[in-house]
Structure 1
């Protein structure tokens, strides 16, 4: 209230008075159709769905990162296994040359060559075990990567369903159609089920 008796309203004052008049007449706000209740329900459901969707999106990103990491580990193990197989082949070549040299050498040199052949044979056996173990680890990392990618797809499907559900919620608020509200809840339910499948690696 100013000194001259005039009262100046701010925009926020007008909005507060407008909201207060609606609160004073709840029947006018809802027109007896339950629209205000419907709006509140959809708003709460949308907030819950958005929160669950954010969690699903995070899990989807997490599993995708894991899949990439595991695939990278598989590639490293495959490279190491390939190096071991090359090493094994080199030892085999040396062994073959040593056997040829033994066969062409005099009797007093044959024993020396035979010792080398035996050493190469032992080294080959050790390299073979390492190469096979590395290949097994590469297969295990590939399997883990595929499992993570499958789980990632599940999380992505669940997140998409929840996003569609939120879109239906917006349409329900705009059109006041009850079937859209049920559609929102149904699609959200599908999204949560798919998210549960992802959580249980199904």
Structure 2
């Protein structure tokens, strides 16, 4: 008699129901669309975030280049000053030995030599300073792009949050807001890519 009597738990019933093609809730197209939209937003946000990190790294690289070149330029200007001091001493030597033509001629040759060396050093220092300005400008450009990418990322994150709230509250008007914010984020991302 105990063989005819079976006790089923809720778990067993659920498995049996599923095994016999049990009824499922009909798919919710609104939730599906919002989920896909959120996945697209998340992908865009990841791209924007990656680009933001990349431009930040480039900004730091160019700023570092500018600092290195600035140090090299300062070294060249110090070298230029040292040659100027040697030139001044040679000019003083030439003035003090004006009665001794051989000694005065040696000092005059030194003056000309230092003048020529200073010209080459000055050109190199000025070229380094130009490199400093160019690297600083490139760093500023990359930093500006980084800020744009960060803004695009933030707008995309706001759009994702609005999409989540839309799904929870079932307010379709929030969907328009999420799409609008995401659209602005895309425009800011395009501006960042274009360097605007």
When normalised by structure 1's length, the TM-score is 0.87
CA RMSD of aligned residues (A): 2.1
Query: 1:107 offset after TM fit, Å?
Result: 2.0
- Correspondence for 2:114 among 96, 115, 120: 120
Hey, what's the Cα distance between the residues in 2 that align with 1:168 and 1:46?
9
Q: What does residue range 12-161 of structure 1 map to in structure 2 within 5 Å? A: 13=14, 17=18, 20-23=22-25, 26=26, 36-105=28-97, 106-161=100-155
Q: Secondary structure at the match of 1:21?
A: coil
Q: Number of matched residues?
A: 188
CA deviations over 1:98-148 (Å, ceiling 9, x no partner): 001101112221111111111101100110010001000111100000000
Query: 1:10 offset after TM fit, Å?
Result: 3.6
- Correspondence for 1:189 among 183, 191, 195: 183
Query: 1:37 offset after TM fit, Å?
Result: 1.7
Q: Give ranges in structure 2 of 5+ residues lacking alignment.
A: none
- Displaced runs of 4 or more, over 6 A: none
Q: Secondary structure at the match of 1:22?
A: coil
When normalised by structure 2's length, the TM-score is 0.89
